Amino acid sequence: MNQSITLLSRPSGKPEISNFKFERESMPVANEGEALLKTRFVSVDPYMRGRMNLSESYIPPFEIDEPIESGIVAEVISSANPAFVAGDFVSGILKWKEYQTSDGKELVKVDANKAPLSAYLGILGMTGLTAYLGLIKIGMPKYGETLVVSGAAGAVGSIVGQIGKILGCKVIGIVGTDEKATLLTQKHGFDDALNYRTNVNLRASIYDMCPEGVDIYFDNVGGEISDAVMYNLNRFARVPLCGAISLYNAPEAGTGPRFEMMMVLKSILVQGFIYHNFSDHIPEALTKLEAWLAAGKMSYTETIIDGFQNLPSAFIDLFEGRNEGKMVVKI
Site for its own copies, rule CB under 8 A: 50, 55-58, 219, 222-223, 226, 235-236, 241-244, 247-248, 253-274, 277
Q: Which is nearer to its own copies, 27 or 264 (CB)?
A: 264
Q: How far apart are alpha carbons 261 and 304 in whole angstroms?
A: 44
Question: Nearer Cβ to its own copies, position 107 or 245?
Answer: 245
DSSP states of 202-224 as a string?
HHHHHHHH-TT-EEEEEBSS-HH
Q: How far is the CB of 108 from its own copies (least distance, A)?
A: 23
We find the least distance from the C-beta atom of residue 174 to its own copies, in angstroms, to be 15
Task: Give the nearer residue to its own copies in terms of CB position, either 74 or 237.
Answer: 237
| Beta carbon nearer to its own copies, 44 or 268 | 268
Taking the least distance from each CB to its own copies, the nearer of 248 and 315 is: 248
Task: Give the largest Cα separation in the chain, rounded.
Answer: 63
| Distance (Å, whole) CA 7 – CA 286 | 33
Q: How far apart are CA 331 and CA 329, in angstroms?
A: 6
Q: Minimum distance from CB of 200 to its own copies (Å)?
A: 21
Specify the residue, 87 or 254, whose C-beta has the smaller distance to its own copies. Answer: 254
DSSP structure class, residue 52 = T
Cβ pair 37, 76 in contact under 8 A:
yes
| First-to-final CA distance of the chain | 15
CB of 48: closest distance to its own copies in angstroms?
13
Smallest gap from residue 284 Cβ to its own copies (A): 20
Q: Give CA–CA dist 312/123, Å, rounded.
A: 22
- Rank residues 260 and 320 by Cβ distance to its own copies and give the closer one: 260
Residues 290 and 120: beta-carbon distance below 8 Å: no
Query: b/e for 157-183, b at 16 or more Cβ within 10 A?
Result: bbbbbbbbbbbebbbbbbbbbeebbeb
Asked whether the beta carbons of 78 and 86 are under 8 A apart, the reply is yes
Least gap, CB of 134 to its own copies (angstroms) = 10
CB of 263 to its own copies, least distance (A): 3
**Which CB sits closer to its own copies, 59 or 294?**
59
Whether 269 contacts 238, CB under 8 Å = yes
Q: Which residues of 243-271 are buried (b: 16+ CB within 10 A; e: fewer)?
A: bbbbbbeeeeeeeeeebeeebeeeebebe
In 3D space, the residue among 157, 186, 80 whose CA is nearest the CA of residue 326 turns out to be 157
Which residues have C-beta within 8 Å of that of residue 277, sequence separation ≥ 6?
Answer: 133
In whole angstroms, how close is the CB of 320 to its own copies at the nearest point?
19
